[in-house]
A and B are shown apart, each in its own frame.
Chain A
Amino acid sequence: MADPQTAASDSATPHDSGAGSPRPSRAQAFRETLFELIRLDGVRGGLIVTPDGLVITSELPPRFPVEALAALAATLGRELELGASRLDRGAFRTALFSADDGTVFVGGSPVGYVTLVADRNVNMEAVRTALGRAVDRLRGTWRTAGAA
């Protein structure tokens, strides 16, 4: 089904999760990337969201506020991207933010932002390294798309 938020179906609804839409090969690659990451020890789930806030794929525990988290993750990813550029720190790659009860990881790519929700005692370095590899793969996907 096409995205219900566009007038192609119904311009009046604000919903834009995109969850459940058919996904051919590249979207399959996004899903596989996320699946690999959420299998890491201590990672509870995650999602990939485009800069415009569209959820490409999401694997989060039940009752998790996917839309809200996606909106915040896209906003955070964009701020990290802009800050890296404005401060001449090179392209934004990954970030992690930890709190008393867990950690959020964000990976940046042209396609969008990979966001992971993890436990408090997660191995930060291991997840960050894996996320960096995933981000590199997504960059490759973008280049392939651009060349097509």
Chain B
Amino acid sequence: MGLATFLERTWSGLTGLVKPRSAATMFRLADQYRHEGRYEEAADLIAEGLRVAPNIAVGHLLDAYVHVVFREMPAAKTSFRRVLSLDPYHPRALFGLARIALEEGDIEGCRPFLDRAIQYFPDFPEAKALQEMVATWSAPAAASAATVGAVNTERLRLPQNAHDLILTHADGTLVFAQGSEERQRQLSVHMTQVYRIASATLARAGLGAMRRGVVEGSSEMTFIRSDGGVILGVALPHEIEVGAGLVQVGRLWTDLNIKS
């Protein structure tokens, strides 16, 4: 017997001893890995499982989850949609698409997913929390010269190196902002979203309405103040302490003579 034949028979014997894993087993193990934070291993198993069984909804759902963890949102969206093509009322796929729509700023696109998820699964606290949050959101009113003109920016004592000063209504209507038109738009959208989601989180935790906020990026800090009607934000150098930054934004609040 030649070496090649010997190796072939040995390999054949070895592979015959190994029972191939079913797709269900692979998905179950992938899910376990996901719970353990072993996302790369989970992703490999999911890919393998989907090669064996491409029409199992849970495989695509797990695939979507792993894409979300890796912040691969277009791929996650595709996988969530694939789940719905196999199971149109899958609550987790509906919820996943709702969350992606939300982070894309597509509030109107988000609502139907949440409504459908809760329609078929009323006991779904995560979806209910988001549904209640977005239910109160309204589109920003058209910006008018009158609202912009109401703010006296000449009295402002802007701290050194302060920038991205913004004053907006809680519904997203911009009152005043520094920077280019595009920068103002980005600031307004982000500030409003942060305020809305943070307010919902504080309310859900039973802590009341949001008054102050501090967001730390690796290069600067953003300080926020609100009375529920308007939101004031300003970016300051990263080195500033929380207390000092809040004093600064409080001073700006006073300078702007904001009344509830």
Chain A residues in the interface with B (C-beta under 8 A): 2-3, 5-9, 11, 13-14, 16, 18, 21-24, 26-27, 30, 50-54, 56, 64-65, 67-76, 78-84, 86-104, 111-112, 115, 117, 124-125, 128, 132, 141, 145-146, 148
Contacts and interface: CB of A to CB of B under 8 A. Distances in A.
Q: Which 7 pairs across A and B sit closest by C-beta, in order of nearness?
A: A7-B58, A90-B218, A90-B219, A89-B217, A71-B126, A68-B129, A14-B91
Contact of A104 (B90, B102, B205, B217): B205
A contact face: mostly helix, strand, loop, or mixed = mixed
Interface in B87-128: 87, 90-92, 95-96, 99, 102-103, 117, 121, 123-128
Given A7-B56, A30-B37, A100-B209, A75 B130 contact: yes
Interface string B186-204: 1100100110011011101
Contacts of A68: 125-126, 128-129, 204
Contact of B220 (A16, A90, A112, A125): A90
Contact of A89 (B69, B205, B219, B243): B219
A16 B206 CA distance: 23
Nearest to A4: B31
A128 B205 contact: no
A51 B126 contact: no
Contacts of A53: 95, 99, 126
Interface string B19-34: 0000010011001101
Contacts of B58: 6-8, 11
Nearest to B129: A68
Nearest to B133: A72
Counting chain B residues whose Cβ lies within 8 A of the other chain, the interface size class is 35 or more
Contacts of A79: 103, 190, 193-194, 197
A97 B202 contact: yes
Contacts of B124: 14
B198 A104 contact: yes
Contacts, number: 228
Given A2-B32, A23-B35, A100-B207, A78 B103 contact: yes
B241 to A, nearest CB: 6
B103 A82 contact: yes
B207 A117 contact: yes
Given A3-B31, A51-B69, 16 more contacts: A11-B90, A21-B35, A52-B65, A71-B125, A75-B197, A78-B103, A84-B217, A91-B217, A98-B211, A99-B210, A100-B209, A102-B202, A102-B205, A104-B201, A104-B207, A141-B37
B207 A72 contact: no
Given A6-B62, A71-B130, A92 B215 contact: yes
B31 A98 contact: no
Contacts of B219: 88-90
Q: Give the interface centre of B56, B61, B215 by most chain A CB atoms within 10 Å.
A: B215
A11 B99 contact: no
Contact of A100 (B37, B102, B204, B211): B211
Given A2-B31, A90-B218, A71 B129 contact: yes
Interface string B27-59: 110011011111110000000000000001110
A65 B197 CA distance: 16
Nearest to B41: A148
A101 B123 CA distance: 28
A102 B187 contact: no
Contact of A83 (B65, B194, B241): B194
Nearest to B201: A72
B260 to A, nearest CB: 14
